[in-house]
């Protein structure tokens, strides 16, 4: 899941929550971000070219569209996010949260063997460059409240409602 040098390809994906841009390297999906996202903060650096017919970008677009239509609950994409070892561990733990379920930041910290790293987990989730595919929207506060989501709490609420997870906790 480390970064690879070179040109990134990108593709626009329209969703019920707004425009997403997908970025891929030679190694996999680098980022899936809402249009207003800070690209450098999310691992999108260097040359970027629009390639709407790129094989991996087409797979991203198809799977995201299926997710929003309710026909996909898991993603099968090669991933290549840029992050520290801790961030990548936190993001891998997010991928273990099933569709329609939520966990707390403390639960996620326990899942990576760092039970005291709750705040660091929140910071890592805030830098998750793979919106929806790496489901940081499924992490909620210890008391069950919606907290923090780089794309906004309204989008987080929508995604959880879409998954039927608004009032469920694993």
What does the pLDDT read at residue 65? 97
What does the pLDDT read at residue 36? 86
- CA 106/CA 40 separation, integer angstroms: 28
Name the 3-class secondary structure at 122.
Answer: helix
pLDDT band with cut points at 50, 70 and 90 for residue 98: very high
Catalytic residues: 136
Domain boundaries, given as residue ranges, for the chain: 8-69, 85-162
Q: Is the pLDDT reported for residue 39 higher than 90?
A: no
Q: Say which residue the tokens 């094989």 belong to.
A: 55
Question: Percent of the chain having pLDDT more than 90?
Answer: 71
Full-model pTM: 0.89
What does the pLDDT read at residue 42? 84
pLDDT band with cut points at 50, 70 and 90 for residue 146: confident
Which H helix or E strand runs over 23? strand 18-24
pLDDT tens-digit series, residues 3-25:
345 789 999 999 999 999 999 99
Helix, strand, coil proportions of the chain in percent (round to 5)? 35, 20, 50
Q: Report the CATH architecture of 8-69.
A: 2-Layer Sandwich (3.30)
Which H helix or E strand runs over 32? strand 29-34
pLDDT tens-digit series, residues 153-163:
889 999 999 99
Q: Is the pLDDT reported for residue 102 higher than 70?
A: yes
CATH code that applies to domain 85-162? 1.10.10.10
Q: Is the pLDDT reported for residue 134 higher than 80?
A: yes
What does the pLDDT read at residue 167? 56
């Amino acid at each position: 899941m480390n970064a690879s040098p070179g040109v990134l390809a990108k593709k626009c994906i329209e969703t019920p929550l707004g425009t997403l841009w997908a970025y891929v390297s030679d190694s996999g999906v680098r980022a899936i971000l809402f249009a207003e996202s800070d690209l450098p903060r999310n691992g999108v650096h260097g040359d970027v070219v629009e390639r709407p017919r790129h094989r991996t970008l087409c797979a991203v677009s198809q799977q995201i569209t299926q997710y929003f239509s309710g026909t996909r609950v898991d993603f099968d994409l090669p991933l290549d996010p840029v992050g520290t070892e801790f961030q990548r561990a936190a993001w891998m733990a997010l991928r273990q949260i099933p569709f329609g379920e939520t966990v707390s930041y403390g639960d996620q910290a326990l899942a990576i063997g760092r039970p005291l790293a709750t705040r660091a987990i929140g910071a890592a989730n805030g830098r998750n460059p793979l919106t929806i595919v790496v489901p940081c929207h499924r992490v909620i506060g210890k008391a069950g409240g919606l907290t923090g989501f780089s794309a906004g709490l309204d989008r987080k609420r929508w995604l959880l409602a879409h998954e039927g997870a608004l009032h469920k906790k694993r």
